[in-house]
Structure formats: C-alpha cells, structure tokens
Amino acid sequence: MMAAAFLHLRPRAAAVAAVALVALAGAPLADAQPPKRARPLENIKTLQGWNGDEVRAEMRLMAEALGVKCEHCHVQGNFASDEKRAKHTGRRMLEMTVALNTGSFAGQPPEVGQSKLGRVTCYTCHQGALTPKHTAGPGAIAW
C-alpha cells in the first residue's frame, strides 16, 4: 500500500511527499500526445456557415433520424466524396427541410439541444427509418 511507504517519515514530510505524489499523478506525461483536432470540413454545400461541431452534431441527428450510420451517405475515410447517391439525396432533403423551416417556421427558432435546422427535421418524416413513415398524397411535389 502507498500509505505504508510514508510511515517512516515525520508527519510534515509525509504530507509534503503525499501532495507531491498526487501532483505528479495528475501531471501529463512528457511524451503524451495532444488531443486530436477534428478534421476540417470539406465539400460542405448545404450547411454552409456552420462550424464543424454544428455540422457533426446535425449529422448525428440525421443518422439517428434515418436509422443509418455515416457510411450510408459517406465513403468511409473520405467524407468529402460525392460518390454515393444517398449523399446527393440527403442534400436535396436538407434543401427541402431548410425551405420548409425558413418559409413556414421562420419565427420559431430551434430550442437549445434540438436540431439547428429548425422545427422540421429529418425525424419529422423518417422517425428512425430510411424510408419516410408518412408519404405525401397525390399531386405532391417530388423531391
């Protein structure tokens, strides 16, 4: 036990040694790596003006709303790629969502912790499924 190592010291010396040990335990190692910075965003077309944290948080909400993982729309290891058709579809859906929120819900900003898109989100229609739960009736505009 660590406390037993200090028993032979005088009380004041033992206290100083204990404080030094605690300080050293919390100090970073000399060869410790600094925390990784998030990769800069590339090929942002629909969420322009958003910072990296905002985009990533929204992407997590989108993935959850559709019941998918990042790889559904993004090429693993190359998020900037436009190779997947689902990414193009996602952009069109985002454009629709932004248009609905700015056109119909402009005076209703999102609440803290909610989607930055606004009141209408991917979850509004998808509710955890890749295919929207509710479809538009006859004569609706196809996105």
Summarize pLDDT for 31-66 with one digit per residue, the tens: 667 766 667 889 999 999 999 999 999 999 999 999
Single pTM value for the model: 0.66
Q: List all residues 6 or more positions away from 95 whose beta carbon is below 8 Å from its beta carbon.
A: 46
Pure H helices in 69-121: 85-104
Q: What does the alpha-carbon distance between residue 136 and residue 143 come to, in Å, rounded to a whole number?
A: 11
pLDDT digits (tens, 9 = 90+) for 21-33: 666 666 565 566 7
Residue 75: phi, psi to the nearest 5?
A: -75, 125
What are the sequence ranges of the domains in the chain?
52-126
